[in-house]
Structure 1
Amino acid sequence: MSNNIRFAGTMPGRVEASDKTAWIGSKANATTETRRKTTIYIVYLIAALDITWMFIQFSITPYLARKLGFDTLWFGYLQTMVGVIQLFGGPLFGRFADVIGARAALSLACAANIVFFILLAIADSPAMLFVQKLPTVVMHVLPASQMVVADLSEPEKRADALSKLGLCFGIGMIAGSTIGGHLVTSYGERFAAYSGAAGSTLSLLLVLSFIPQTTKVQSAAAKNDSENKNKSIFSVGQITRLMKFPGVAQTFVVKIVAGLPSGIFQVMFSIIALEVFKLTPETNGYIMAYFGIAQMVVQGGVIGRLTARYSESSLLLLSIGISALVGLAQAYMQNVFQFCLTVVPMMFSLSVFNVITDSLLTKSVPSSDTGTMLGLCAAVQSLLRTVGPTIGGVLYVNYGLFSIGFLQFIGNSAVFLYLLQRQLNKNSEYKE
């Protein structure tokens, strides 16, 4: 009888302890989820600010370069130099983020931004303008932001989460282009550059205050596997081995071939704005703000809904097809109004293409390597900027604006037909 009494007396205590443990676990999970969301929101803010500073720089460099005696070809060489530097810096920066941590990587990128703008402010010769580009080797705030978001987002929601960074890009494009054009027109290039340095300092303070040292969430097996890997940041083998994962090499080829023609147009736009459309710095800022509005609408309100309804392979195919038509339209445009008509489909195709390819690639590798993979994605963009200015400069000088748009039409049409054929073959195999 006494045993029954003791048993009955102890049961409520056990139930209460179990409930308390469950409540503590639930509260801990809720706290972790809140911290995760807060970190992502802070990263979005840092990305928006960084793009703002970047477009302030875009408002400065073409006009400063012209004052220092640069012509179209030499400006192309300057852009090519940036592409070469970031081509090698991107994968190493991604590897640095995987090994050392997200906060260290973002801090390094923001600190490089500060140095970059200070050098831009004091540049008074063509040689100094080339020296000023050296910090771009680690100026990868946006790829670092993508790394954090990829680490903290669920795989099935990754494309939507990454697309929100595009929304930040649009906000930064509008703010940076408008502010940059106004600062250059009213106060000059030097004041605008110092403003960029001050803004980059703010970004650095946000990183140090809110971003955790590491954002990797790994299983025990994945953690043990990562511990056994070579931890050297400069390990070429650890970087290139990612190409051996299924589908990675093919996606990279598509990213390069389909992205090159549109990349050429983007890097040449500042020259096109000056020589074809005869835009002033302030007017050019308004055009870039229009780009930003279009990108905000696409990445903030369209891509998330599309990824929830359609497969990533179908969206990739759609983006490449639209890009081909945009190239054809741009080959025949004659004025700013006609160009503005192509902006919305252009931003749609670029946004969907970049988000989908980045999402596909990060899903193809272990979570411990997402930083390196996004670094390789950044290297692809740098490769396009490396060869883009040279190819674009030659095409523009010898054949005019038509040749750049027509190259985009031919290149993207070829990739579209290739992917369409592969998808049809897969569907037929699945039915059989």
Structure 2
Amino acid sequence: MQVDTHLQQRRKAQGGPQKESPASPGDAGQQFVLRVTYVLTAVELTCLFMQFSIMPYLAKDLGLDSVGFGYLQTLFGVLQLLGGPIFGRFADQWGARAALTLSFLAASGFYLLISFATNVPLLVVSRIPAMFMHVLPGAQMVITDMTSPADRPAALGKLGLCFGIGVILGSMLGGTLNTKFGIYSPAYVAFLANAICTLVSLTCIPANTKATSEAERAPSGTPPAASVFDLKEIARLLALPGVGSVFFIKILSGFPSGLFMIMFSIISMNFFELEAAQAGYLMSYSGVLQMVVQGLVVGQLTERYSEDTLLQASIFVFSSVGLAMALMTNVFHFCLIVPGLVFSMCIMNIVTDSMLTKSVPPSDTGAMLGICASVQPLTRTIGPTIGGLLYKRFGVAAFGHLQFAVNLLLFLYLYKKNVPQNVKKSPLSLLQG
């Protein structure tokens, strides 16, 4: 599948090697834009987790039972699943700044509608703007456009710091504001924050983040850009050499752990027998680990090892964690497993995103990231049904067995096929050194 080989061939066909973008990696202006992007992402993720922390209580106050709340969450996932590829195509046609601004506008509408949701129908209507709430993919698009392929994994990894900040601050602020100022106060704060982020995005992010040389290299006979809603363009990207198999690995490898995380609130309550506050501490522990791995560890690893090696290593660790998960009996065991789970999830997401954006033309990186952004909503859409069935019939160990089996098969497949990259190192050497 050799992604690098296909990418080099595509670059030659397009007129030679890539030229450096107007803002080189060391350029102060580029660094400012990247820092602004990180800050905006951290703010929006904090707002998102504030909403997550109060939504079960708001739904209960409005008369929704657990089944109704599940339908509400499924609707959120379906809308994001549908909107992800469209959002990516929009970014490629109108630029990352327009896409990021659209995402903040959608988030502002989302939180504003929540603040007016005094009954169940209004709460359902408040989900609609979620279709275009893709701040994290929008930030990935800016970073992808403004960094070289070699620097991209480390730069994308720093978004993990933003995610960790969002998990910790959002959960804490959501509960505090709810207790002191009422259940709608987090929605008011989130609306104001996203309105400010919209203005900052418009004023601080360049209108065109892609390299000017990429635009100049477009052939004169190129047909006009397809519609944002053209599904054939999405299918074309998935059919490119090296894309379909990596995307398939991305979905399949993380699906078992995604099922476990969807069921985690029930598992923590019934299997671990934790109180709400204790479950919150466990989530904070996971958030801190994610900050460390994505903010500090990923950059070091990508400098020393190829993406192929890291991909195989993450799948190997995923499989090992699955086996340990099948054997765990208490929350202490889970705390020992979490570092490996976080490591494999972070490496898998960052490396596959980087590989996929390298394997498509620069003009299509936004669409590719939009497709990648649909993986998590897909899990959230079908996960509750499958996860609930597994938990009810086979218990917590079923998630571990599934994760072990799926990732072991993927590891053997990758080991045999040597997917992709030119530098071949054993993933076991990464774990040893």
TM-score, structure 1 as length reference: 0.85
Gaps of 5+ in 1: 1-27
* Structure-2 change in CA distance of 1:30 and 1:300 (3 Å): closer
* Structure-2 change in CA distance of 1:411 and 1:225 (3 Å): farther
**What's 1:115 paired with?**
109
Aligned-pair CA distance for 1:65: 3.2
CA distance in 2: counterparts of 1:414 and 1:133, whole angstroms = 38
Aligned-pair CA distance for 1:222: 3.1
* Structure-2 change in CA distance of 1:366 and 1:164 (3 Å): same
* Structure-2 change in CA distance of 1:425 and 1:99 (3 Å): closer
CA distance in 1: counterparts of 2:127 and 2:149, whole angstroms = 36
Aligned-pair CA distance for 1:69: 4.8
Match of 2:162 among 164, 168, 182: 168
Match of 2:27 among 29, 33, 38: 33
Contact 2:242 2:420 in 1 (8 A): no
Structure 1 residues 41-99: Cα deviation after superposition (integer angstroms, max 9, x where no partner): 11011111111111111211233334445455444333222222111110100000110
**348-357 vs 313-322, which moves further:** 313-322
What amino acid is aligned across from residue 346 of structure 1 in structure 2?
L
Gaps of 5+ in 2: 1-21, 426-433
CA distance in 1: counterparts of 2:207 and 2:420, whole angstroms = 46
TM-score, structure 2 as length reference: 0.85
Greater share of helix: 1
Contact 2:306 2:421 in 1 (8 A): no
**What's 1:100 paired with?**
94
RMSD across aligned C-alpha pairs, in angstroms? 2.7
Does 2:254 align with 1:259?
A: yes
Does 2:415 align with 1:420?
A: yes
CA distance in 1: counterparts of 2:116 and 2:318, whole angstroms = 39
Contact 2:25 2:147 in 1 (8 A): no
* SS of residue matched to 1:214: coil
Does 2:152 align with 1:152?
A: no
Q: How many residues are treated as equivalent by the alignment?
A: 402
Contact 2:54 2:178 in 1 (8 A): yes
Match of 1:389 among 371, 384, 391: 384
Structure 1 residues 115-140: Cα deviation after superposition (integer angstroms, max 9, x where no partner): 21222233344444332221110000
Structure 1 residues 170-198: Cα deviation after superposition (integer angstroms, max 9, x where no partner): 12222112222333344443222222222
CA distance in 1: counterparts of 2:33 and 2:221, whole angstroms = 24
Does 2:59 align with 1:56?
A: no
**266-275 vs 156-165, which moves further:** 266-275
1:9-408 counterparts in 2 under 5 A?
A: 33-217=27-211, 218-219=213-214, 222-224=217-219, 228-277=223-272, 279-408=274-403
* SS of residue matched to 1:223: coil
What amino acid is aligned across from residue 378 of structure 1 in structure 2?
A
What amino acid is aligned across from residue 159 of structure 1 in structure 2?
P
CA distance in 2: counterparts of 1:47 and 1:226, whole angstroms = 38
* Structure-2 change in CA distance of 1:104 and 1:406 (3 Å): same
* Structure-2 change in CA distance of 1:29 and 1:353 (3 Å): closer
**273-282 vs 405-414, which moves further:** 273-282
Contact 1:159 1:355 in 2 (8 A): yes
**403-412 vs 43-52, which moves further:** 403-412
Aligned-pair CA distance for 1:275: 4.2
What amino acid is aligned across from residue 269 of structure 1 in structure 2?
F
Radius of gyration: which is bigger? 1
